[in-house]
Structure 1
Amino acid sequence: MTDPTVHDHGPTETKEAILSRRRLIHAAGLGALAAATGPALAQSTANRPSPPTTVTTPPRDFSRQGAPTTYFWDPDVIALDPAFNGLAQPNAAIQRIWTGGLWVEGPAWNAQGQYLVWSDIPRNRQMRWIEDDGHVSVFRAPSGNSNGNSFDFQGRQLSCEHLNRRVVRYELDGSATVLADSFDGKKLNSPNDIVAHPDGSYWFTDPPYGGQLYEGAPDAPGGPSNANGKINPRLGQPPGIGLAKRELPTNTYRIDPSGRVELVVPESQVPDPNGLCFSPDFKRLYIASTGKGPGDTGPGGKGDIHVFDVGADNKLSNGRVFSDCMFDGVNCGPDGLRCDVEGNLWASSNAGRNVGYNGVNVFNPAGKLIGRIRLPEVCGNICFGGPKRNRLFMAASQSIYALYLGTQGAGPG
């Protein structure tokens, strides 16, 4: 029997399924199409009308000026298992708190300053949203085409810079420290995301996505992301940029408290690593493996999530696939990852043009999908924040979305 508290949206098989997308929008507002999450994602909802979705006509207005959802549960917050009902907040709605970016990434919450910072990668800047009045301003420019950001246990901001191929830490006195820019004497590719460990170490991923014009700088002529040399990577860049060539595989690294950089997960185990996070007890490390990047010669990532056991000596073992992120035949490509205090994993979802599958997927520690948050834009990264750390911030393409929850995020950043 279906639990009446589970607010899912089941599949509908009608003759309209063979109609074109445009005719289906006209006939049913696409409510049935986007609400249909298939047997793998939903329970039966017989005799229950499908609520509005992210593809309603006219489109839902997610801004603060938008009309109320009129539903006790936001129609785009979907429980697929009763366990999710204790994590979501029934009377809270998804809100778009800012828009106007080109490709926003790396949201991170500063608990002391009560503000959210994120990267607008192509514009080479970081933005800041202040909790008390919602004011948004440029926080740091240039930012080295920064991608992932986080805060460590001392409240210092950590940033992964595509352009400069390095990881930096902004100190409390306002100075900046380069934490890593090479491994074994070779320049890093384009550090992507970073997380702090209580022992004082930092763990980061190093895929090649910054090796493109839009988000950083391609290799010097002859390098993997500029093999034919037709692109001039020095145009519009400061001196010294555009001279490097990719030298390393796509690995995951650890910076120990002494500053030594060590390889923890090679490309052979997790190709094109992207977002990463620890479980609340730091006994697990999750890593998202994304698609093939510029200059990749191998098959690249498959759009899945991997998990490793973390030993007392920080050695990883028992690596395995946590989720293939395939739902209804759609690859909901993972990017940014965060855990809540219960150990559930929240993963941003990039499903491309598969409307209704972009947003956030929520897994229990066993890897079962228990909930979804649908957004009208591709979601690249997420973080928990707010004074109580019970608000999920979602960096989605050109906008920042926020949703109050019934749980809290684990750890800083």
Structure 2
Amino acid sequence: MPIERLDPRLDAIVEADADWEELGSGFGGPTGPAEGPVWIAEAGHLLFSDIHNSLRMRWHPDEGITVDKTGTKNGNGQTRDREGRLVVCHHFSRCVDREEADGSVTVIADKYRGMKLNRPNDVVVKSDGAVYFTDPPPKVPFTPPEHAPEIDCAGVYRVSPDGNRINMVVRDLINPNGLCFSPDEKILYVNDSNQYRKLIMAYNVEADGMLDLGSARLFCDMRGDPRMGGPDGMKVDVEGNVYCTGPGGIWILTPNGEHLGTILMEGRTSNMNWGDSDWRTLYFTGARSLNRIRLKIPGFPVPRGALAPSASS
């Protein structure tokens, strides 16, 4: 069965007999999978990254999958800001940038204290416009051999809403990867995909957007599951349930970190995002594929500042 049910509370989130649908395959390659799905509501299509081939792909229900952009410099995670502009993490150019309405590109972050970033991986934009992203260590073949690290750690960063300040808000993770906010944006979840850790951490967000590191706590530990996969992409629904790729597929966790069940998938699952007009379809990428499944509880719209649907609507 495609749904592994560990707790009856899962029935409120997904039908017991639900199945996911593959929309396309053949993406990615030795240096990276399909990644970074993001729904473009006004156009009714989904964008996602083909890291290995430096392509941004587009899926439309009437047109299928086509190439949206070439030469993305191994683009990975992507989201949208309050104005609907696409914000993208790039491995090869080691930056986070923003695509303006006129097609020009603005670099949001490429250095910290004068040192080049490692390889920005995933990104989320808070409703106030602040940009938070993960920056795991350089790693061949995700980055070229000549990309020697300049920063002595892997970090999680915050760029202020005005774009003038960049702060490292977490520095003690080995391989920070996916991240997402709780519905009220008072908690930031960040996972560590290092093969010996496989965990999700939770941090309280202070009024100025910084993280209270003293509040750091283990939210979920996936190390006890021997199946393929680990924490990577991560999202939250309007009721605060956390969805994170993990061993066996996509883990569904309560706001307290209880594992309710898993959307099962063979091989690696890399990232996910909600879409469709009611935000109840979870689109997710595998190592080589794009897929979707219908859920009962909607996720948060992108941009984050848009009005979120209710679970009862």
TM-score in same-fold range (> 0.5): yes
The Cα of 1:113 is off from its aligned counterpart by: 1.5
Candidates 77, 95, 104, aligned match of 1:166: 95
Q: Does 1:188 align with 2:117?
A: yes
Q: Does 1:83 align with 2:12?
A: no
- Asked if 2 retains the 8 angstrom alpha-carbon contact of 1:187 and 1:248, the reply is no
Match of 2:132 in 1: 203
Partner letter of residue 169 of structure 1? R
Once residues 202 and 301 of structure 2 are traced to their aligned partners in structure 1, the CA distance between those partners, rounded to angstroms, is 18
Q: Deviations over 1:314-370 (max 9, x none)?
A: 232200111111344558510000000000000012x4xxxxx2x100000111000
Partner letter of residue 326 of structure 1? R
Partner letter of residue 140 of structure 2? Q
How do 1:69-108 residues align onto structure 2 when only pairs under 5 Å count? 75-89=1-15, 92-102=18-28, 103-108=33-38
Q: Does 1:255 align with 2:159?
A: yes
Match of 2:176 in 1: 273
Once residues 210 and 110 of structure 2 are traced to their aligned partners in structure 1, the CA distance between those partners, rounded to angstroms, is 22
Secondary structure (helix, strand or coil) at the match of 2:10 reads helix
Once residues 331 and 145 of structure 1 are traced to their aligned partners in structure 2, the CA distance between those partners, rounded to angstroms, is 24
Distance 1:411 1:327, change over 3 A: farther
Candidates 253, 258, 261, aligned match of 1:371: 261
Q: Deviations over 1:79-129 (max 9, x none)?
A: 211211111145642100010112211111111221111111110111010
Match of 2:52 in 1: 122
Once residues 226 and 270 of structure 2 are traced to their aligned partners in structure 1, the CA distance between those partners, rounded to angstroms, is 20
Distance 1:278 1:360, change over 3 A: same
Residue identity over aligned pairs, in percent, reads 34
Q: Does 1:346 align with 2:243?
A: yes
Once residues 277 and 17 of structure 2 are traced to their aligned partners in structure 1, the CA distance between those partners, rounded to angstroms, is 19
Partner letter of residue 6 of structure 2? L
Match of 1:286 in 2: 189
Match of 2:209 in 1: 314
Partner letter of residue 286 of structure 1? Y
Structure with the larger helix share: 1
Match of 1:142 in 2: 71
How do 1:150-161 residues align onto structure 2 when only pairs under 5 Å count? 150-161=79-90
Once residues 265 and 303 of structure 1 are traced to their aligned partners in structure 2, the CA distance between those partners, rounded to angstroms, is 17
Once residues 94 and 238 of structure 2 are traced to their aligned partners in structure 1, the CA distance between those partners, rounded to angstroms, is 32
- Asked if 2 retains the 8 angstrom alpha-carbon contact of 1:326 and 1:332, the reply is no
- The number of residues matched between the two structures is 296
Q: Does 1:395 align with 2:285?
A: yes
Higher radius of gyration, 1 or 2: 1
Residue ranges of structure 2 left out of the alignment (5+ in a row) = 304-313
Once residues 260 and 191 of structure 2 are traced to their aligned partners in structure 1, the CA distance between those partners, rounded to angstroms, is 18
Partner letter of residue 208 of structure 1? P
- Asked if 2 retains the 8 angstrom alpha-carbon contact of 1:121 and 1:146, the reply is yes
Q: Deviations over 1:360-405 (max 9, x none)?
A: 0000011100011111231011111112110111110000110011
Secondary structure (helix, strand or coil) at the match of 2:269 reads coil
Once residues 229 and 26 of structure 2 are traced to their aligned partners in structure 1, the CA distance between those partners, rounded to angstroms, is 24
- Asked if 2 retains the 8 angstrom alpha-carbon contact of 1:190 and 1:207, the reply is yes
Q: Could you tell me the TM-score, scaled by structure 2's length?
A: 0.90
For the aligned residue pairs, the C-alpha RMSD in angstroms reads 1.7
Which has the bigger relative contact order, CA under 8 A and spacing at least 6? Answer: 2
Partner letter of residue 364 of structure 1? T
- Asked if 2 retains the 8 angstrom alpha-carbon contact of 1:112 and 1:155, the reply is no
Match of 2:308 in 1: none
Q: Deviations over 1:51-75 (max 9, x none)?
A: xxxxxxxxxxxxxxxxxxxxxxxx2
Residue ranges of structure 1 left out of the alignment (5+ in a row) = 1-74, 224-244, 293-300, 352-356
Structure with the larger strand share: 2
